[in-house]
Structure 1
Amino acid sequence: MTRARSLVLEALERSAEPLSAAAVFSGIGEACDQATVYRALSYLEAKGRAESFVLHCDEHGTERYYSAGSAGHRHWFHCVACHRFVDLGACRLGGLVAELERERGVRVTGHALYLSGLCTDCAASQPVALETADRV
């Protein structure tokens, strides 16, 4: 593996939450340019060493986030107030996916899931609860 790919993978493995390409680039300093970071992320994802999802955040816009793929497929919670991510653990949708495949005759080859809302700290400091009508 090239030095740049190793640095990018190490940055993902050190982080407790998903990182944007810009955050990876900032975290590895002057070791390589931004285009190299994007190429390394693409390579690592293609090899199963990283995974990504696209998140839309009112404050930060739409951005792709990456995490190390060595821990298996994971789902995330995104706090809309502080922009923190909380690891929801390994994917538990296997039964649902199998049921959908059986019922609908489709073959699922992948999925991405993240939940949004307020983390414990932000929820405690919010004077008004989020509207439940916005829940999906």
Structure 2
Amino acid sequence: MKRGFTRDEARLIYKYLPTETTEDVGSILAVYSCGGAVNRPEFADLTPCPDAGPTHKGPPYHNQQYEGCYTNYPDSNMLASPFWPHLYYGEQGLYPFLQRAKRRYEPDNIFHHAMSIRA
């Protein structure tokens, strides 16, 4: 998140978060307070997830409050979109770089899953 919850968002969270259900579902609301160097944009190119920043976790949303998603939360439903790698790796050329590394060091694609780097 790039800003705090609006009053309406907070009201809905408070209303539905403690709701009991008989369905076998799981969810979590995690709000992290981050500070320090993670907030400094000049360090963005020193991470494998340059778009991540301190507030970048969860499923992908593109609007003024949310952008992209965190690679440790894979969602294979995203594969329906041809641009899903951009949500995880940004548009600064990281995904093509990772594809080149994959082709060079792991050309047989032994280590893979539905959302792994495509060689």
TM-score range, shorter chain: under 0.3
More strand by share: 1
| TM-score of the pair, normalised by structure 2 | 0.26
| TM-score, normalised by the number of residues in structure 1 | 0.24
